[in-house]
């Protein structure tokens, strides 16, 4: 079979290591140019395919591609853009296949979370129906760590490390001032519906009394009275209280503590601001001095403090996706399978996209302490290896050196334009 081109797109919220996955895809494809001629990347994700605005990664030097290993953000641009259901908007899928056909694209690597796996799955089905079968591979990425089947998701280990380290460091600050100043420190972390990132904050403490003293998980309905009672106890017993709160913390009726009222393309509520909601409760009810921080984008772009395990896994899933595609597998995603906790060992397998698409993996009850405010030993066993190891980027003049791509556009071939 003559070589075909590949299309690679980043999707959804980026991570500190999503570009390491891009590096894994591109470097591996470059070793098999008899089968994959060139890798085109979507400018701003899937939108780049629809609008025929693709980047020819072949125009980048080997060194520039290698530098993706230590560059956070999405090197080609990512998008929160959901292709509608086939019935609602068949035109979008048809356009995608039309572009793939025009550019001889026989491989599609979609690097994203649950929604993206659904898209990759649908593209694989419809491309067959349209008589231009495309080999479609989902490539996992999400700081939220909520994809099923895989033991963990690339992107999570680094955000987990950032949150654990920040909790530990900020706790030392609060502890040193608590007698005369701040008594409560609140760190807000991402994770949407799943409490994996919040749980990682728990790694900062080793024994009773260590910070964080309270973790607020989306999986545990928030009860104001219990929360305030615990804050008061901590301040009485330890002199201060450190709280890690997930942006997805919610009341028993399902309402988020911090629903901003806006929705993204996937219909997800825009979250953020829960730290201030919680801080206001502390001030109004307990009258304690507080500080709060919203880790926000800092946590998912903190490549300077990435987990070495995460970087390795991010590369490995990209590499495996290409290998699976070349071996004739389609509509699958490389998953990380843990084979041992101590020593931590893992390998890559493949799983059908149908088992992964649109499903969210929550923090299991056995990872949360009975009082609902902490993590168990089982959670520690799971989390600890994922944050292990340092993989510092090179520095120039005190700042991390990042990849500078040329991002040269592939010449459009179609006459029709598509507006998204
Ligand atoms: O991709 C997941 C995520 O990091 C969530 O944890 C968070 O709610 C969301 O992205 C924020 O993304 P956006 O940049 O689209 O607001």
Name the 3-class secondary structure at 263.
Answer: strand
Question: Taking residues 48-55, what's their average pLDDT?
Answer: 98
Q: What percent of the chain has pLDDT over 70?
A: 96
Which residue lies with its CA nearest to atom 12 of ligand 1?
A: 13
269 within domain boundaries: yes
Q: What is the pLDDT of residue 85?
A: 65
Q: Are 81 and 46 in contact (CB under 8 A)?
A: yes
Domain identity same for 114 and 194: no
Burial environment of residue 59 by CB neighbours within 10 A (0 to 12, 13 to 18, 19 or more): middle
Question: Taking residues 60-65, what's their average pLDDT?
Answer: 98
Domain identity same for 267 and 123: no
Peptide bond into 343 cis (omega under 30): yes
Domain identity same for 255 and 330: no
CA of 324 from ligand 1 middle (Å) equals 29
CATH of the domain at 16: 3.40.50.450
91 within domain boundaries: yes
Q: What tokens appear for 322 in the block?
A: 């290409």
Domain identity same for 299 and 207: yes
Q: What is the pLDDT of residue 264?
A: 66
Report pLDDT digits (tens) over 198-249.
999 999 999 999 999 999 999 999 999 999 999 999 999 999 999 999 999 9
CA of 410 from ligand 1 middle (Å) equals 30
Domain identity same for 352 and 396: yes
Residue to mutate, 15, 192, 218, 363, ligand 1, most ligand atoms under 8 Å from C-beta: 192
410 within domain boundaries: no
Q: What is the pLDDT of residue 90?
A: 80
CA of 326 from ligand 1 middle (Å) equals 32
User: What are the angstrom distances between the C-alpha of 282 and each of 19, 163, 274, 288?
Assistant: 40, 22, 13, 6
Domain identity same for 36 and 166: no
Q: How confident is the model at residue 358 (pLDDT cuts 50, 70, 90)?
A: confident
Q: How confident is the model at residue 259 (pLDDT cuts 50, 70, 90)?
A: confident
Question: Taking residues 241-263, what's their average pLDDT?
Answer: 89
Which residue lies with its CA nearest to atom 10 of ligand 1?
A: 13
Which residue lies with its CA nearest to atom 8 of ligand 1?
A: 192
Report pLDDT digits (tens) over 106-137.
999 999 998 899 999 999 999 999 999 999 99
| pLDDT value at 270 more than 70 | no
Q: What is the pLDDT of residue 2?
A: 86
Q: Are 145 and 361 in contact (CB under 8 A)?
A: yes
Domain identity same for 58 and 179: no
Domain identity same for 354 and 249: no
CA of 232 from ligand 1 middle (Å) equals 32
Minimum-distance ligand 1 atom for the alpha carbon of 14: 1
With CA atoms as reference, report the closest residue to 192 among 270, 138, 128.
Answer: 270
Q: Quick one: DSSP state of residue 390?
A: B
Domain identity same for 171 and 253: yes
Minimum-distance ligand 1 atom for the alpha carbon of 13: 1
CA of 13 from ligand 1 middle (Å) equals 5
CATH of the domain at 300: 3.40.50.460
Minimum-distance ligand 1 atom for the alpha carbon of 142: 1
Q: What is the pLDDT of residue 267?
A: 67
**Distance separating alpha carbons of residues 247 and 263, to the nearest angstrom:** 15
At CB < 8 A and 24+ separation, what contacts does 175-180 make?
Answer: 175/211, 175/239, 175/240, 178/239, 178/240, 179/239
**Residues forming the active site:** 144
408 within domain boundaries: no
Minimum-distance ligand 1 atom for the alpha carbon of 197: 6
Degrees (nearest 5) of the Cα angle 363, 368, 369?
175
163 within domain boundaries: yes
363 within domain boundaries: no
Domain identity same for 112 and 236: no
Q: Quick one: DSSP state of residue 195?
A: -
| pLDDT value at 410 more than 90 | yes
Domain identity same for 325 and 375: no
Which residue lies with its CA nearest to atom 14 of ligand 1?
A: 13
Residue to mutate, 13, 113, 146, 193, ligand 1, most ligand atoms under 8 Å from C-beta: 13
Q: Are 100 and 107 in contact (CB under 8 A)?
A: no
Domain identity same for 373 and 265: yes
Which residue lies with its CA nearest to atom 16 of ligand 1?
A: 270
The span from the first CA to the last CA of the chain, in angstroms, equals 34
Phi, psi for 233 (deg, rounded to 5):
-60, -45
Domain range for 261 is 156-304+368-387
**Distance separating alpha carbons of residues 50 and 119, to the nearest angstrom:** 13
Q: How confident is the model at residue 83 (pLDDT cuts 50, 70, 90)?
A: confident
With CA atoms as reference, report the closest residue to 107 among 85, 126, 124.
Answer: 124
Which residue lies with its CA nearest to atom 11 of ligand 1?
A: 13
Minimum-distance ligand 1 atom for the alpha carbon of 191: 6
316 within domain boundaries: yes
CA of 207 from ligand 1 middle (Å) equals 32
| Overall domain count for the chain | 2
Ligand 1 pocket by Cβ (under 6 Å)? 12-13, 80, 142-144, 190-192, 247, 264, 271, 300
**Distance separating alpha carbons of residues 18 and 20, to the nearest angstrom:** 5
User: What are the angstrom distances between the C-alpha of 100 and each of 58, 134, 239, 255?
Assistant: 17, 8, 62, 42
284 within domain boundaries: yes
């Amino acid at each position: 079979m003559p070589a075909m081109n590949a299309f690679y797109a980043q999707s959804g919220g980026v991570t500190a290591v999503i570009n390491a996955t891009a590096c894994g895809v591109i470097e591996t494809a470059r070793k098999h140019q008899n089968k994959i001629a060139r890798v085109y990347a979507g400018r701003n994700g899937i939108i780049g395919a629809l609008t025929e605005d693709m980047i020819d990664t072949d125009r980048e030097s080997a060194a520039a591609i290698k530098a993706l290993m230590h560059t956070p953000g999405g090197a080609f641009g990512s998008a929160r853009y959901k292709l509608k259901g086939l019935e609602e908007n068949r035109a979008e899928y048809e356009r995608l296949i039309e572009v793939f056909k025009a550019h001889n694209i026989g491989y599609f690597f979609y690097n994203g979370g649950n929604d993206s796996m659904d898209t990759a799955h649908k593209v694989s089905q419809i491309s067959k129906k349209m008589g231009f079968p495309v080999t479609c591979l989902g490539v996992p990425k999400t700081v939220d760590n909520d994809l099923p089947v895989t033991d963990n998701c690339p992107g999570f280990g680094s955000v987990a490390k950032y949150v654990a380290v920040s909790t530990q460091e900020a706790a030392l600050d609060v502890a040193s001032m608590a007698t005369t100043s701040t008594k409560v420190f609140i760190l807000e972390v991402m994770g949407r519906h799943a409490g994996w990132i919040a749980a990682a904050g728990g790694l900062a403490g080793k024994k009773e009394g260590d910070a964080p003293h309270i973790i607020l998980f989306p999986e545990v309905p928030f009860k104001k009275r219990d929360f305030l009672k615990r804050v008061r106890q901590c301040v009485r017993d330890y002199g201060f209280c450190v709280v890690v709160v997930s942006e997805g913390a919610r009341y028993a009726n399902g309402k988020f503590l911090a629903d901003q009222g806006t929705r993204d393309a996937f219909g997800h509520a825009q979250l953020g601001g829960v730290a201030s909601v919680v801080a206001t409760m502390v001030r109004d009810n307990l009258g304690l001095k507080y500080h709060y921080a919203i880790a926000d984008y800092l946590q998912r772009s903190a490549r300077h403090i990435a987990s070495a395990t995460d970087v390795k896994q991010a590369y490995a899933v990209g590499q495996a996706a290409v290998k699976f595609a070349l071996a004739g597998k389609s509509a699958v995603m490389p998953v990380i399978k843990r084979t041992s906790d101590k020593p931590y060992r893992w390998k890559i397998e493949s799983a059908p996209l149908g088992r992964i698409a649109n499903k969210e993996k929550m923090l299991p009850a056995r990872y949360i302490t009975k009082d609902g405010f902490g993590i168990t030993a089982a959670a520690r066993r799971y989390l600890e290896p994922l944050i292990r190891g340092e993989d510092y980027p090179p520095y120039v003049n005190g700042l991390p050196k990042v990849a500078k791509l040329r991002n040269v556009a592939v010449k459009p071939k179609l006459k029709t334009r598509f507006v998204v």
